[in-house]
Structure 1
Amino acid sequence: MSKRPYDGQQGSGYKNKKPRNGDSNQHRPYDNPPARYGDRQSNSSPGNLKADLERKAATDRRNYKVDHSEAVKQIPSNLAAQVPVHSFTPFTVPATLPPLPEILDPTLATAPFTHKSLTSYDRATSSSDITYERLEFLGDAYLEVIASRIIFHHFQELTAGSQSQVREVLVKNETLAEYARLYGFELRVKVADFEQMAADSAGKGNKGLNKILGDVFEAYIAAVILSDAENGFAVVEKWLTALWAPKLIDAANSHRYRSPGAILQHALGEDTRTIYDPTAKATLQKRIQSADAKLIYEPYQTMQELKGDQLGQNRHFIALYLTGYGFDRKCLGKGVGKNKVEAGNWAAVEAMHGEFKSVVDECEAKLGLVKEARRKAKEEEEAAKGLKEETK
């Protein structure tokens, strides 16, 4: 198929459309050409909505400083013995926003940006109409599959629950709307009455314009894949890998997504109180716990159920107390984690490297003296016992 650049006017045929009999939707401006996303329906001043959107989009792109090429280099290698979908690489990854892959089929070129309000739409009879709402259905499925593949094959140290959390960060409406704005999609969407849509979306947050732009982004993914049966999926997967790379690295490096058994590597000189140690509780126990000294881990705050991209996850709050060495329930540290084990380890990390590090060191020294005294006493006892056996 030949490539055809988007010109904003392809295939609308809008001016020749008339209301069907019984169409009660009288607010559609059938006598006027369709508005692109952001066009006003009335005479406008230089400060109109379209101009505002164009200025904001230009500013966002100018201020976008995320280095995608560097982030791609940090993505772990695919450790699975998996054959890639296709070896075709459509582009190299620049430091800035990765290039937008093209829709090769001219009949699909404007579909991701076409709202159903441009046609005399009837859900029962319009199965052949291609709008972004129809393409979004397929694009949403592709997006989930591609995100899952990338995370599963490149971040195998994450638990299944953490992998789901990272995927939610990648595919949520806020993320997709952010990318849609950076690529200027909000200036390409065509609706019958944008101002009415904007007014209807006002105050709805993630269910408003973010949802619309997220749908358009998903529709674009579907159109790219459908327009190139041989390479479309591979092109989109490589593009999204580069596009998601900064968020993937940030999410995967965040301790809230880490498996409790993960062994982490950190830069020399990094604050040890910020480094998660999955063996911290066991280490502290070996250092200072004895028959006369106890470490007690207890919740100091009610568990919280999280929302947003961590919906279904919990936040636990654990305090660590020491009884012994002359202390009675001395609080050595507090920790917060996605489960009690992780929160307890953070509390132990705080105890060993935080404000009361000197207390732990002192207790360890005392326990060392006690152990040394016991060792000498045992040696003396065994020596005396041996001497007694010799004299028999």
Structure 2
Amino acid sequence: MHEQNAQLEEILGVHFHDSQLLRLALTHRSYIYETSGAGLTSNERLEFLGDSILALISADFLYRNFSHLTEGELTDVRAVLVRTETLARFAREMDLGRFLMMGKGEQNSGGGQRVQACAFEAILGAIYLDQGLEAVRHFLIPLLDPIAHTIIEKRLFKDNKSLFQEIAQAQTGITPSYRLVGQEGPSHNREFTVEVMLGDDVAGRGQGRNKQTAEQEAAHNALVSRGWI
């Protein structure tokens, strides 16, 4: 395990004072369920902490660097910037799945997008506890910066629900509707699944930590699947 930690520290560019924090960040709850070792805990609490730190650093970064954006636009940009898909991409680029401790079911799937994104947030929480907020900022900003500029330059933060409704009405004459089809996880970290409907047809599905975010992702997926963006 020590060798694996050292390899990941090289990838992250962060060397932990307390290696147990890194180990904890890499421990998925499925590993706990399938392991008889006493005293083990999962990365869920670190993920909770990392999520809040991510929200603060991303908001501060956008506020300081994009003074021309309104409050609503800043909110929309941040939603796109820190969504599950983006965080999972960061995790994949770091080959984080190779270091995660997961149950056999999760290992066989390689750890889904949600698992990867949660592990990335747990890493942020671990860095914060080990070295403080500035260390997290130093690690995170180089990842967020190029994506933020792309989102803003290409106007990718435009409200997907409004765009989908506008195009759907023009193309089909139907006003989209949304339905909640699932929710899971503890109250502080709930995942909602929403489908956007055109009449009786499911046009797209999305997930998010609140219904609004899930609806936006469903609308985006519908726009992509129909070739409208």
SS in 2 for 1:191: coil
- Structure 1 equivalent of residue 153 of structure 2: 253
Q: Is the 8 A contact 2:25 2:43 kept in 1?
A: yes
Residue of structure 1 aligned with 2:136, choices 227, 233, 236: 236
Alignment of 1:161 with 2:43, yes or no, is no
Deviation per CA, 1:98-127, whole angstroms, max 9, x where unpaired? 953233212213111112344468xxxx9x
* Matches for 1:45-194 after TM superposition, within 5 Å: 100-119=13-32, 129-193=40-104
Match for 2:58: what amino acid?
A
Structure-2 change in CA distance of 1:197 and 1:240 (3 Å): same
Q: Is the 8 A contact 2:80 2:157 kept in 1?
A: no
SS in 2 for 1:157: coil
Distance 2:71 2:101 in 1: 40
Structure-2 change in CA distance of 1:9 and 1:101 (3 Å): closer
Structure-2 change in CA distance of 1:6 and 1:148 (3 Å): farther
* TM-score normalised to structure 2 length: 0.60
Bigger fraction of residues in helix: 2
Q: Is the 8 A contact 2:5 2:22 kept in 1?
A: no
Q: Any runs of at least 4 consecutive aligned residues in structure 1 with deviations exceeding 3 A, and if so which?
A: 116-121, 255-258, 302-310
Residue of structure 2 aligned with 1:215, choices 106, 118, 121: 118
SS in 1 for 2:4: coil
Structure-2 change in CA distance of 1:254 and 1:101 (3 Å): same
Distance 1:238 1:304 in 2: 42
- Structure 1 equivalent of residue 127 of structure 2: 224
Structure-2 change in CA distance of 1:211 and 1:304 (3 Å): same
Higher Cα Rg: structure 1 or 2?
1
Q: Is the 8 A contact 2:44 2:122 kept in 1?
A: yes
Distance 2:156 2:22 in 1: 41
- Cα offset for 1:151? 1.0
Residue of structure 1 aligned with 2:106, choices 194, 197, 206: 197
Amino-acid identity (%): 26
Distance 2:12 2:103 in 1: 29
- Bigger relative contact order, structure 1 or 2 (CA pairs below 8 A, ≥6 apart): 2
- Structure 2 equivalent of residue 311 of structure 1: 216
When the two structures are aligned, how many residues end up with a matched partner? 168
- Cα offset for 1:233? 0.7
SS in 2 for 1:140: helix
Distance 2:115 2:87 in 1: 10
Distance 1:6 1:160 in 2: 45
Q: Is the 8 A contact 2:51 2:121 kept in 1?
A: yes
